[in-house]
Amino acid sequence: MAKSQKSKSSSAVTRRGALQVGAAAIATSVFVGLSPEARAKKGRGGGGSGSGGGTGGGTTGTPIRFTPFTVDLPRAAVKSPLAIGTPPYQPGAVFHGIAPEFFNRTLAENPSQRYYEAFPTKFYEMRCQYAVHEFIPGVRTPVMTYDGTVPGPTFKARVGEPVVIREWNDTDRELSTHLHGGHNPAHGDGYPNFYILPGKARDYYYTNTVPMELGQPDFGESPSTMWYHDHSMDLTDEHVVRGMAGFFLTYDDLELDLINRNVLPADEYDIPVAIQDKRFNADGTLWYDPLDHNGYLGDVMCLNGKAQPKMHVQRRKYRFRFLGGSTARFFELRLSDGNFIGLGMDTWLFPQAIERNTLLLSPAKRADVIIDFTNAPNEVFLENILIQEDGRGPSGKLNDRETQIPGFPLMKFIVEGDPQPDSATVEVGTPLRPHTPIHANEIVATRIFEFERRKGAWQINHKFFDPNRADATPLLGTAERWILRNEGGGWWHPIHIHLESHQIQLVEGQVPPLEDRFKSDTAILGAGTELELFMKFRTFKGPFVFHCHNTAHEDMRMMFVFDPRTTSTRAPTVIQQSFP
Amino acid sequence: MIDGDGVEPEGIIGLNVVTRSMKRMGRLVSRCGISPVRRMLRSHSPVSQASWLLADRVVPDGIAHIEGTVMKLRRSSLAATLLLAAIGCSSSHSDGISLVPQAATSLEAASKPVSKPSLAAQNAARLNALSTERLPDAKGHRVSEKFPDVELLDQNGKTHRFYEGLVKDHPVCIVFFYTRCQGSCPGTTQAMKKLRKLLAPEFGSEMRFISLTLDPDVDSSEELRDYMQRWKIEDSEPGQPEWYYCTGKYEELEELRRSLGLYELDPIIDADRTQHAAILTFGNDRTNRWAALPVGSDMQDIVDTMTRIAGNTERQRYAGAVKLGRTAHGHLVAE
């Protein structure tokens, strides 16, 4: 049941007399992104409907037509380090310095001396810069990027391998890079006002270590799929929409072993895919309104920076790391043929592979999955079945979402060749990474955070965000229970807490779906719901933030500070350190 | 954009840069045409020799001794070592577990060269690194293109075009209110009076404050004039932003309000004037930077953010964002 495109009526002429009623008529009569032939053949609801292409708040959508499934899904290049071991530059000798943990390994709990191989540090340099990119074939779009590409380069590292990235800001806007899902020092975690100012650089130090638990490394926390993106105060939404995002993949011994034993696909069969919706002006520039505080919705679905791409695949298993890279749009992914084998949620692998029919991806969430094309038909579509009309969130409730099947086709897999039944041995039930749950008897404190909308602004516990104020001061080395309450009004908030994984205990008083019971870093707080999670706070002193990952809400300061301390401290209080 | 095999060989292998021969061996392995991941696994063996041959980093003694291995250390300077020892970084915690709470000075000590200027001197240098040149006009699409250029009537009965007359090429701060509001408006008006003074040093009269009514049927020019008098707000104060209180046609003001994002998607809440947005919308049309903040936010935060977003020079924008360090009482360094 395709919903017709909603358009906000705003009939008066704008000052410049731009896109008007005529354009609106075009948008409703022509499905953007789905050629008439394709539509006739597949009978799919398409670009004009809420599931794939509904836009919120604007009078029109993208007025550019293109033929989908003509461009191959690209893969971001893997970034090479400048040097390994010997620094090619003096770490910290830039305007914004480097984390103090770099000079004092005990602070980083970097037990390279015993538990990890003593990996030498990898030194990188990255430039944040303006560039031009083609999302839609033949259309050149100015973008903001890491190293000139959308998505930015993919980083790969071993768990235990320290990384320093010297990031230069060649743009004219303040930036702050956050490695989402990472366990990192506060200096380089993307705190919103720890900027990289224009023309300056900051050395981001990622220890790539896991927290310690009772004197042993907690390898259950080994990250697999992280992503990095801009996080600067008040400007995050625009910078991410304009292109500032990329992947950061790490591998520990366990995961390498799974790969080596041919349990998991690897190399060219292991593909990170960022799914993002965009909207364009007639001249190919990105449509963006920094004063739309509801959430950015686009009608052109881009995967790894290309609108509705295609991918030629062999008849074997592939591993995909799907990222909900939009800033407000939620996706629910489904295959036109077959199910997924779930390998992991957000940054971490599951204890065992599970069956997943659809993948609910809020902004910032990742689904690490296997798609098995061994017995697939010649064409398989990756679809989005979730209907979302505006920036508040999907239609329906968290446990009762409005979907449409078939959904909006995001990309097309063209399946070729003979079946390869021995491509990788993973199947539903295959053991992956053991998970040690956080137990209730480990909890030392319970905190309640109520998210409220008042007069166009967001409050948490009746307070506005203040970057100098710590709202929670957990004791390092302990576990806490956090209860998150969303008061309602149809607003969905994917809540992301920095520093460590959290374990979702209850959603609306019920045990969550299987895929949400282990480790996550972004928890979907549906409209009018409450959830409870357990979380540990280890290794690094604060300050860190937690916030809604609808980045338009984040920019309207829907954010709070938690500042893990080595001694017991009452909150609220001033943050313990600052790294401007 | 598509790389050959999806894995960067040297990045994954984690070669030990100990000796040249190991490096050569690594290169040989990487040329063998074996799957990079499997290559990586071959190098996965217990470390026999670790090296921290890192040019400018001082490694505390506690880290130096791995059981049975000899670490090569390069100490950049004796003074630096002594400094680290002095602040307690020489660790007896060889298991690497405990955290050494840092003295406040170690933050700067660890990240700065040995003969260190004072915090005040560092902050002065950081400030001087910010240019005072007027940043260029923004090119291309401007956010202000979406604003309808409606006709407004101010507190003196004078007409202005919203964009051409008030916003174009100026830094502005915009709010919606109405004179009969008993809710957030009194607080907003108070806050804006303070802001007018606090922003004066940076922006002078180049900035405009624009208060737009949600209630044009009641809020005529005279009503607006009365409101300003009750609140002791002058149109012009020397060296301070000009303040315009404006009314106009209801439909046009509504269109303007929506274009500024100050509406609720829930039509019931949106229609209820008493629940109107308590948001300051501000920006600089010339540089095309805009943002909005809850008016109840911390006042210093609002000032810092408005100067950062609407500032005309780097120094204006970032002076508040570059200060290092903390005072003896643990508070962040103030001006």
DSSP of B115-135: SPPPHHHHHHHHHHTS--SBP
A498: nearest Cα among A537, A526, A452, A449: A537
Query: Is the CB of residue A164 less than 8 Å from the CB of residue A203?
Result: yes
B199: nearest Cα among B170, B230, B159: B170
Residue A216 forms contact with B (CB below 8 Å): no
For residue A228, give every residue at least 6 positions away whose Cβ sits within 8 Å of its Cβ, in sequence order, or none.
A146, A152, A155, A177, A178, A179, A180, A245, A246, A247, A248
* A114–B258 C-beta distance less than 8 A: no
Q: How far apart are CA B41 and CA A254, in angstroms?
A: 11
Residue the block writes with tokens 């947005």: B277
* A293–B91 C-beta distance less than 8 A: no
Query: Is the CB of residue A63 less than 8 Å from the CB of residue A20?
Result: no
**Which residues on neighbouring strands pair with residue A148, listed in sequence order?**
none
Cα nearest neighbour of B308 on chain A: A174
pLDDT of residue A48: 34
Q: Coil, strand or helix: which one is B300? A: helix
pLDDT of residue A25: 38
Phi, psi of B73 (to 5 degrees): -115, 140
Q: Coil, strand or helix: which one is A385? A: strand
Query: Is the CB of residue A308 less than 8 Å from the CB of residue A368?
Result: no
CB-nearest partner of A118 from B50, B148, B266 = B50
List chain A residues with CB under 8 Å of B306: none
* A100–B7 C-beta distance less than 8 A: no
Indicate the pLDDT class of residue B331, thresholds 50, 70 and 90.
low
pLDDT of residue B194: 97
Residue the block writes with tokens 């606090």: B198
Q: How far apart are CA A193 and CA A190, in angstroms?
A: 8
* CA distances in angstroms from A554 to A235, A261, A272, A504, B279, listed in the order given: 9, 43, 25, 22, 15
Query: Is the CB of residue B105 less than 8 Å from the CB of residue B330?
Result: no
- Exposed/middle/buried for residue A341 (C-beta within 10 Å: 0-12, 13-18, 19+): buried
Residue A270 forms contact with B (CB below 8 Å): yes
Over residues B271-280, the pLDDT tens digits come to 999 999 999 9
CB-nearest partner of B8 from A78, A289, A467 = A78
List chain B residues with CB under 8 Å of A98: 111
Over residues A193-234, the pLDDT tens digits come to 999 999 999 999 999 989 988 888 899 999 999 999 999 999
Query: Is the CB of residue A307 less than 8 Å from the CB of residue A68?
Result: yes
CA angle A461, A467, A472 (to 5 degrees): 45
Within 13 A of A243's CA, how many CA atoms are on the CB side? 28
Over residues B216-271, the pLDDT tens digits come to 999 999 999 999 999 999 999 999 999 999 999 999 999 999 999 999 999 999 99
Size of interface A-B (CB pairs under 8 A): 311
Over residues A102-148, the pLDDT tens digits come to 988 766 654 444 556 678 999 999 999 999 999 999 999 999 999 99
A346: nearest Cα among A495, A551, A538: A495
Chain A closest-CA separation from residue B197 CA (Å): 22
pLDDT truncated to tens, each residue of chain A (580 aa)?
334 333 333 333 334 433 333 333 333 333 333 333 333 333 222 333 333 443 333 446 999 999 999 999 999 999 999 999 999 999 999 999 999 999 887 666 544 445 566 789 999 999 999 999 999 999 999 999 999 999 999 999 999 899 999 999 999 999 999 999 999 999 999 999 999 999 999 999 999 989 988 888 899 999 999 999 999 999 999 999 999 999 999 999 999 999 999 999 999 999 999 999 999 999 999 999 999 999 999 999 999 999 999 999 999 999 999 999 999 999 999 999 999 999 999 999 999 999 999 999 999 999 999 999 999 999 999 999 999 999 999 999 999 999 999 999 999 999 999 999 989 999 999 999 999 999 999 999 999 999 999 899 999 999 999 999 999 999 999 999 999 999 877 899 999 999 999 999 999 999 999 999 999 999 999 999 999 999 999 999 999 999 999 999 999 999 999 999 999 999 899 999 999 9
Chain B closest-CA separation from residue A9 CA (Å): 10
Chain A closest-CA separation from residue B193 CA (Å): 20
* A117–B292 C-beta distance less than 8 A: no
CB-nearest partner of A103 from B96, B110, B281 = B110
Over residues A503-552, the pLDDT tens digits come to 999 999 999 999 999 999 999 999 999 999 999 999 999 999 999 999 99
* A290–B266 C-beta distance less than 8 A: no
For residue B184, give every residue at least 6 positions away whose Cβ sits within 8 Å of its Cβ, in sequence order, or none.
A455, B276, B278, B295, B296
Average pLDDT along chain A: 89
* A566–B99 C-beta distance less than 8 A: yes
pLDDT of residue A116: 60
* A235–B14 C-beta distance less than 8 A: no
- Mean pLDDT score, B131-158: 96
* B44–A117 C-beta distance less than 8 A: yes
Residue A40 forms contact with B (CB below 8 Å): no
Q: How far apart are CA B195 and CA B200, in angstroms?
A: 8
Chain B closest-CA separation from residue A557 CA (Å): 8
Edge-to-edge strand list for the sheet holding A366-372: A306-307, A300-303, A270-278, A317-324, A366-372, A340-345, A348-356
pLDDT of residue A364: 98
* A79–B15 C-beta distance less than 8 A: no
List chain A residues with CB under 8 Å of B252: 12
* B41–A260 C-beta distance less than 8 A: yes
Query: Is the CB of residue A123 less than 8 Å from the CB of residue A222?
Result: no
Which pair of tokens denotes residue A518?
Answer: 């282990």
> Given a cut of 70, is residue B93 above it in pLDDT?
no
B contact test, residue of A98, A105, A291, A579 with most B CBs within 10 A: A291
For residue B244, give every residue at least 6 positions away whose Cβ sits within 8 Å of its Cβ, in sequence order, or none.
B152, B154, B155, B160, B166, B208, B209, B210, B211, B235
The predicted model scores a pTM of 0.83
Indicate the pLDDT class of residue B5, thresholds 50, 70 and 90.
very low
- Mean pLDDT score, B194-201: 96
CB-nearest partner of B1 from A149, A172, A233 = A149
Query: Is the CB of residue A272 less than 8 Å from the CB of residue A153?
Result: no
CB-nearest partner of A466 from B6, B298, B321 = B298
A53: nearest Cα among A61, A43, A42: A61
A317: nearest Cα among A390, A364, A275, A266: A266
* B275–A106 C-beta distance less than 8 A: no
List chain B residues with CB under 8 Å of A156: 7-8, 11-12
List chain B residues with CB under 8 Å of A235: 291
Cα nearest neighbour of B34 on chain A: A267
